[in-house]
A and B are shown apart, each in its own frame.
Chain A
């Protein structure tokens, strides 16, 4: 079956395009979706579908089949299998972006195929359900894009600079986790925890890394050396003396925010952003070095980070205030 949804968001096309390319932000817009892993272009995840008495879980993969930056078309192909049955579902989601002044009109065309028990059921249950899911997905996406544009007030300049720069790809490679060539076990552990870039990694403390499944002291030592080759260091452990508040600020290693899929718009903290905010406070020097290397594209990508920094800072402040009150 074919479905079409469209919406307009108050952000320039370039911003909308960027966000749509970010799996970690797009996936939570799918109601009931959980990301299991993201490796390159391949996304593994699950979708829980619940309608009245009917509940089904599909596990599967998705990948970007097409990213046409010229015509602003993104095609995402997804296919999954029921976790408790032999049914399958597949979808091709084609998003087309059209610039309308300072706004962007997004058209989402979806082709949905469902086989298995729903077919036995004899009616278009899944078509009904699928249509609804895509509808919610589209509206969540619209909300997220709109919320995104409302956050960073100081973001206009870097975005303009970014437009002039065409060398994103090479810069990105240098920052990616893959470029460190870590052992698979370590690499997967980091990815699972939401660490996707070298900056993310440098923002971790030794203790945080040790808390990750599959990473032990030897792995941490290896990471430390590979970072040192690039002139980077791990984030230092929280300063002693204010141990309680400090640990509250840095405690949770960032995780993929898929668990809160129901409210993606109010979940502005993407994993990279959460860690980068820590990095910002720990070592300003590193941040400046990286910017001089990566240039404008990084600045552009830092817009959501900036938003997240503000959010995290507010949360941390609140926690601290509460703790003080509790102590007093």
Chain B
């Protein structure tokens, strides 16, 4: 379907983009890669009056080493995430996950920031940002603001971003020595995850010293599997004990019911996938 009528601006600087958004009020949307927004426009599920294209703003691109953390520009595409040497070295989980996002065409257009700002709980990267305890940086009329990933995802397709704010970058901590894994179950390669699990594990002396688990599509927002995290922390780094910890991955979740699975089925998937992800992350 052809989208409803809308205006389009392509500012060349961040401040211009913020001004355009502030002037337009509620009915403006930022467009970056457009891989989530365009389908919504074409289905006429979304009818914004103004699209502010941040594709011309180069300062939103690229990865910077900040010492203990990496600053990833919001406009960095999935393809770049997969191939960036800094990310490969310090944040392998992001590269591994980005490689599973949809298909090559989408990965070349779609961006890290766009995936987070869209706030789709079935998107892969929000759960990863949550598991990494990333910090999201937004520029608004009042300047820059830092939002912890745990506070960023407010509700279904709804984030903490104000209408006039642009997500500029994502700060992710380097986690040296941590193992990681993103496990995802989906119907076809391009489909949204029925359930996805991002696991990070720090080992010491054959035990799990620290575990972090982010769940994709297990509620209206990406969630942490806190019960399973607690059970895994301090456990033996063995398949059996990690599987036991993973059996608590569905606790406290309210997964959606749709064509691809009922809530109980999704909780089952979460348990199985968490077991696999923890084992892989722990290297057992």
Contact = CB atoms under 8 A, between A and B. Distances in A.
Contacts of B220: 128, 132
Contacts of A132: 155-156, 220
A123 B156 contact: no
Nearest to A129: B156
A54 B46 contact: yes
Contacts of B157: 51-54
Interface in A102-156: 117-118, 120-125, 127-129, 132
Interface in B144-168: 155-158
Interface in A76-99: 84-85
A184 interface: no
Secondary structure type dominating chain B contacts: loop
Interface of B: 4, 29, 37, 39-40, 43-48, 118-119, 122, 155-158, 191-192, 220, 256-260
A288 interface: no
B47 A55 contact: yes
Given A52-B157, A54-B46, A117-B44, 15 more contacts: A1-B257, A51-B156, A51-B157, A52-B119, A53-B29, A53-B37, A54-B45, A54-B157, A55-B45, A84-B47, A121-B40, A123-B259, A125-B45, A128-B156, A132-B155
Interface in A46-83: 51-56
Given A123-B122, A127-B257, A127-B258, A56 B45 contact: yes
27 contacts: A1-B257, A51-B157, A51-B158, A52-B118, A52-B157, A53-B29, A53-B48, A54-B157, A55-B45, A55-B47, A84-B4, A84-B44, A120-B43, A121-B40, A121-B43, A121-B45, A122-B191, A122-B259, A123-B122, A123-B256, A124-B256, A124-B258, A127-B258, A128-B220, A128-B256, A129-B156, A132-B156
A125 B36 CA distance: 14
Contacts of A85: 44
B7 to A, nearest CB: 16
A23 to B, nearest CB: 29
A132 B157 CA distance: 13
Contacts of B155: 51, 132
Interface residues of A, number: 21
B258 A53 contact: no
A99 to B, nearest CB: 31
Nearest to A50: B26
In order of increasing CB-CB distance, the 7 nearest A-B pairs are: A52-B157, A124-B258, A53-B46, A54-B45, A124-B256, A128-B156, A117-B43
A127 B257 CA distance: 8
Contacts of A118: 45
Contacts of B37: 53
Nearest to B159: A52
Nearest to A116: B43
B122 A54 contact: no
B256 A52 contact: no
B55 to A, nearest CB: 18
Contacts of B29: 53
